[in-house]
Amino acid sequence: MPATREIPECYEEGPDRKVRCKVCRNAKWVAFKHVKEHLSSTKHRQAVEESEVRAAGRANIEQRLGVVVAEQGQSASALTLTNLRLPNFQPVLAQEVPSETEKSMWREYSKYDADFSAGDQVSDEDARRSFEKEMDMMGIWDAVSLGRQLDGELDEPPNPAAADDALLAEVLAALDASDPFDTTEAQPDAVKAAEWHPYPSKTFKMLLLDICDNLPRLPVSESLMRTFIWILKQCGANDVPSLDALRKTQKKLRTQCGVPTISCTSIQGKNFYINDPRAIISMECANPDIRSELHLYPEVNTNGSVSELWHGSKLCVELSPKLLTPMFDAGHGVHYYIDELAQLSDGRLVIPVRWIKVDGAMHVDVYSVKLNAENEADVETDIYRVSAALLAFNFLDLTFRNQIPKWTNASTASEYHSRMPNPLRAIAKGDPFYTIFIDYFSDDVSGNRSKSWNKHWNAYMTNRSLPRRLLQNEFYVHFVSTSQHASIPEQFKEFQKVIKTSEVDPIRVPDPASSTGCSCYRIIVNTDPSDNPMQAEICSCMGAAANLPCRKCKAGGSQQEKASNEGYHAMFSCAEPRSKSLILETVRKQVELACEGNEAELKRTYTANGIKDKYTEYWINDILDQFKKEVDRGVSKATVSAALKQWVKDHDDDIFSPFLTTDGFDPPRDTPIELLHTILLGVLKYVWHATTKSWTADQKKTFELRLQAAETSGLSVEGIRAAYIVQYANSLIGRQFKVLLQCGVFQLHGLVSDNHFRAWKTVGELSALLWYPEIDEMDSHCADLHVAIGNFLDSFAEIDPSKMITKVKTHLLTHAPSDVRMFGPLLGAITEAFESFNGVFRPCSILSNHRAPSRDIAIQLAAQEGVKHRVAGGAWPMKGEGNEIIWTRCGPAARQLMIDQPILQRLFGWKRAGTVAAGSVTLAPISAIKGQRGRPDRKIIVLQTTKAAQAFNCKDYDLASEWYKCKNFVAQSEEVCDTSSWVFSSSTIDPETAVMGKVVDVLRRTDSMEGLVILEQYELQPERHALFNMPVLAPRRREEAVFLLLKPKHDCSSGTCMPTGKRPIFQERQETRLEEYFIEHDSQVSQFILNIASLHNPHLLRRVVPAALIKPSPLWDDRVLLHRQQAERLREGRDARKVKNAAAAAAREAGTSGAAPKRKKTAIGAGSKRKRTGKTTGRQPKRQKVRARAAQGQVVPDSSDSDSDSDSDSDSDLESDEGETNDEENINRDFEAENQPRQAVASKRPGLRMRVHIDYRALNG
């Protein structure tokens, strides 16, 4: 029999012998053993005190009510209010100004929590009747009607005292307040609704269903959503909305806080839809968390560090100040604009030119304004920089004070005064006015998951005023448009029209950082970080097949010119740069030639300049066809030409590419080198193919074993699948090339020639420089880049000289230093996030009914934007009373859902800023002992028994102190390091000196949070490694304190590390009897190599390693001589191929002159036999053969030597960059050309909004 227990009076017992405190609010059922602990807690004592105060207040009110009842001569019987419920159709009380009596009542209500005094009884019968009439008008007094609705017909009306109590309960319910005599803790419905605003459900089911319906990578069909709702109802969940209710709510929310989808028709008559970019930017600016991250001005660090776009020379120096943020908010509604006269605190007059932050403080570049003897103002052309804190009066202040001086004739001629006041001041309407820069990404993407190509032209965007660490998250990538018909320039044309409106009608959102409470924004296009073929199209460049293949400069020439000594050497450096104005001028000249019907000269222009704009080519073809048609009708060429030129002049804005007419966007300069497609899927793929194409099976196996033995900790890779990389060497994707880039050079010794090995070392050294997230000194970094690029190009040309003139990506590397200066680290222009977003687009394409795919996809992705905005805490406008605009946010419970649920953060691609403190440690987990209940106590370690006792600075610690063993710790770089990690540390002897070591153990004191890291110290050797040309590490002594994680490589080349180990192979997570060999590292070799090809922390590594051990140095002293020798080899190879091809042609010709040879029974004959059997018709296409062999696990040779930056088409992998000679793209284009009618003649294109038309009457007039 269980022992009897004495339960305290304030507790109640449940059926399962658990108890619950009746005093504390929201108390839970707990085991009886926790009662004593709870009674002594601070929470319980406070609850008891509050209960006593409420009891005293209740007694006071009851006494006062009793007096009132006694004065009225009525019984004091109480009415139980807890069972009273108002009808559902009650009207909402109108809010009025409370009287002094009401204020007194609410003060007492606040004092005694749920108990309050109703005030003195009004004895005046007229006043009482007036009050009853007011309550009746508000619809909450009719006691008889209320009783009929609740309990049927009443035999007699309630007595006045009961009516008073009922009135009290009804008024409280209408005001969403708790009943003062109701001790239940049920939360009012209105409060619940406010918690989950704007969702109408009193619980969070509606919100969860809306989130589930709009998860980016987990599409939910209509039938699946019905299934979810049915399951919730079957499980007994309350307040589960129907599917119709969900759709109705979603439609309402989309109207209130969604992204509008705009129907567009291109100038060529193609229909598609775009999501309004203004609404997307408005959402980001209306989110307080995102708004605090915006950088709206160029910034300069006096220490020279550059890490973001706003540190680059484009915003700080080159871009017109008129396109930057034009004003500065000095507080209290005082705004200073550029091009307006202002006065400094010392009385000097200036004209602000460019606002710029220096070390976080606002500064401004200004023209100085001097007054001459006649008191006339003259503007000096020299620019100098002053602190914005020195500004005293703006243009409006000076105008009000009548202090605007007269201008000199020179200043008047320069029209300084005509720009005052700045026109943007009137557009801003008193609010701060800022500029938001965006990146516009475009690519061709398949809408299918399968290999069946379903081509869509997609466009995405990101807000480049946000830090790079945020833009790497999928949450900040936004869909703009897609179409199977309209090209990217056509889509960008409509996109340009939309964002252009923000310059005259800016995006206006509330802003807590603004002195006026609101800010307005305009949108400017910054860059287009697409893949190389798309960037070439944007720049109107003909691409790799042209004589001038570079989109950024005029490098190149004819094949003979590029093979000459001078021409070949020129491909290793930048030539005369291209510019938007020169390209537009060339395209205009081409259109003029088309108007003259000079088709031959037009083609020569294409060849001579390498410029051929696909957007304008559509109209050039129309113009040529119209010219021929009119001339054939007998109209003179001069008349037709004049008419066509007039038509071009009238439609100038429509026939030229929008990329060439967008303010602030210069295509050749604003299409930066993209690391994924230019390095990983470009030059590294060329080196990989040149390395592996001649390998034997034994060499492949050796490389596989070595690569699999490489450790990945401290590298920017997730894992190594060496067998897959070797087997499918010609079908690798970006992340696999990233593994080869960082690890490959250490596994290739003895397997490749010296030229190949040199190329691997130089491409690793170059890539580490390109992957810098932060640049400490720009000039030094660009100088190192120039040397590293030259070393790689020279080394790669030693393998195959022809690649320098056939692979445009090799030449594009020479433009990397200038791109780094303009935009900061090239990691900001990397496209992994955009390519990964294809996995969000593709499910929307699959769930579309494909009758209007552009519309369906845009609407679905707009709905996702709305859900992301709401749950992330963004605000949106709603119409209040009197059509007043009120900005609102989701309720606190709805916003907290995203913060508290990591699974939602992962599903939406949102990563919160890390809050891990450097130096913190994590205790090692405690393993349970088999057969023992509970977990054992944590083991205490005495410092004397650890390796810390052997450290040279062990005297700084109490060796008898007690410590816990830890799993890992956090370095100053905010990286988690565990035992066996290699780190750099500040020396305990000289904190300014960095030491390096391997983590041996991590400890934490038992009585504090102090952590201790025990290092086995290694020392950098004075000379680089003879083979790898990298720093060498050797053991020395021990140290502690850590700030950087890195990964040295074991020097296998110096030891006897061989594939002598054997281990079982696991299949289906089970050990098999099969075995595989693995590399066993020689433990006698204590020498390690510092991997400077690692993409992990390369900038931090540069800070601590001496420059002599890590700085790139030229491999050849005379590069001109080297390139001359390579050009000679190139010409010799070409001549040899010509002789060989001529001999082959002669042999074929000799064979055809004789008797026809007997036909062999090859695949054609076999195909004929299969045709008769009905299995296969014809010969299998080459590409199908390649795919079939790959499916059988065979290595497909030679396919990766093309510029097809092939990448995986799966959702999680990076998409492919269809390169300059992509076979699959060519096949699709040929198929489309063969199966579609020619669209050169305008008259054959119905539905065009515009076509070439000659108005002879206007011409003659």
**With bands split at pLDDT 50, 70 and 90, how would you rate the model's confidence at 781?**
very high
pTM of the model: 0.75
Bigger pLDDT: 43 vs 1159? 43
- Could you tell me if residue 1148 is inside a domain? no
Give the pLDDT mean for 439-459.
Answer: 90
pLDDT in tens, 304-363: 899 999 999 999 999 999 999 999 998 888 999 999 999 999 889 999 999 999 999 999
595 & 645 share domain: yes
641 & 686 share domain: no
Which domain, by its residues, includes 100?
Answer: 48-184
Task: Among 134, 157, 184, give the residue marking a domain's end.
Answer: 184
**With bands split at pLDDT 50, 70 and 90, how would you rate the model's confidence at 154?**
very low
Task: Lowest mean pLDDT of 178-192, 591-605, 641-655, 752-766, name the range.
Answer: 178-192
Bigger pLDDT: 92 vs 1127? 1127
- Could you tell me if residue 1098 is inside a domain? yes
Sorted by sequence, the CB contacts under 8 Å of residue 966 that are 6+ apart come out as 921, 922, 923, 924, 1002, 1003, 1004, 1011
Instruction: Indicate whether 1053 pLDDT > 60.
Output: no
Give the pLDDT mean for 164-187.
Answer: 38
Q: What is the number of other CB atoms lying within 10 angstroms of the CB of residue 225?
A: 16
Q: Determine the Cα–Cα distance for residues 343 and 360; give it in Å rounded to an integer.
A: 23
Q: What is the number of other CB atoms lying within 10 angstroms of the CB of residue 999?
A: 22
Asked whether the beta carbons of 481 and 459 are under 8 A apart, the reply is yes
Q: Determine the Cα–Cα distance for residues 593 and 1084; give it in Å rounded to an integer.
A: 76
Task: Name the DSSP letter for residue 608.
Answer: H
pLDDT given at position 76: 33
pLDDT given at position 219: 85
pLDDT given at position 591: 93
pLDDT given at position 935: 73
pLDDT in tens, 537-585: 999 999 888 899 999 999 989 999 999 999 999 999 999 999 999 999 9
**With bands split at pLDDT 50, 70 and 90, how would you rate the model's confidence at 896?**
confident
**With bands split at pLDDT 50, 70 and 90, how would you rate the model's confidence at 1233?**
very low
pLDDT in tens, 899-912: 888 888 889 988 77
Residue that the structure tokens 């190192």 belong to: 784
- Could you tell me if residue 312 is inside a domain? no
Task: Among 832, 864, 894, give the residue marking a domain's end.
Answer: 832
Q: Which of 678-687, 959-968, 1131-1140 has the highest mean pLDDT?
A: 678-687
Total count of domains within the chain? 5
- Could you tell me if residue 156 is inside a domain? yes
Q: Determine the Cα–Cα distance for residues 1089 and 1083; give it in Å rounded to an integer.
A: 15
pLDDT given at position 1054: 52
**With bands split at pLDDT 50, 70 and 90, how would you rate the model's confidence at 517?**
confident
pLDDT in tens, 203-254: 678 889 999 999 998 888 888 989 999 998 888 888 888 889 899 999 999 9
Task: Among 150, 184, 218, give the residue marking a domain's end.
Answer: 184
Element (H, E) at 1117: none
pLDDT given at position 151: 41
Give the pLDDT mean for 695-723.
Answer: 84
697 & 824 share domain: yes
Give the pLDDT mean for 808-816.
Answer: 95
pLDDT given at position 1241: 35
719 & 650 share domain: no
Q: What is the number of other CB atoms lying within 10 angstroms of the CB of residue 1144?
A: 10
CA atoms within 13 A on the CB side of 626: 25
Sorted by sequence, the CB contacts under 8 Å of residue 870 that are 6+ apart come out as 198, 253, 257, 876, 890, 894
Give the pLDDT mean for 480-485.
Answer: 94
- Could you tell me if residue 615 is inside a domain? yes
961 & 1103 share domain: yes
Instruction: Indicate whether 1010 pLDDT > 50.
Output: yes
pLDDT in tens, 586-632: 999 999 999 999 999 999 999 988 999 999 999 999 999 999 998 98
Give the pLDDT mean for 395-403.
Answer: 89
Q: Determine the Cα–Cα distance for residues 378 and 398; give it in Å rounded to an integer.
A: 17
CA atoms within 13 A on the CB side of 281: 29
Sorted by sequence, the CB contacts under 8 Å of residue 777 that are 6+ apart come out as 304
763 & 639 share domain: no
310 burial class (0-12, 13-18, 19+ CB within 10 angstroms)?
A: buried
Give the pLDDT mean for 937-963.
Answer: 83
Instruction: Indicate whether 1083 pLDDT > 60.
Output: no
**With bands split at pLDDT 50, 70 and 90, how would you rate the model's confidence at 1077?**
low
pLDDT given at position 125: 55
**With bands split at pLDDT 50, 70 and 90, how would you rate the model's confidence at 1058?**
low
- Could you tell me if residue 706 is inside a domain? yes
72 & 177 share domain: yes
759 & 691 share domain: yes
731 & 820 share domain: yes
Instruction: Indicate whether 276 pLDDT > 70.
Output: yes
690 & 646 share domain: no
Q: Determine the Cα–Cα distance for residues 112 and 421; give it in Å rounded to an integer.
A: 59
652 & 682 share domain: no
- Could you tell me if residue 57 is inside a domain? yes
Task: Name the DSSP letter for residue 1073.
Answer: E
Instruction: Indicate whether 1181 pLDDT > 80.
Output: no
Instruction: Indicate whether 90 pLDDT > 70.
Output: no
In Å, how far from its chain's centre is CA 1040? 38
Phi/psi for 169 (5° steps) reads -65, -40
- Could you tell me if residue 650 is inside a domain? yes
89 & 174 share domain: yes
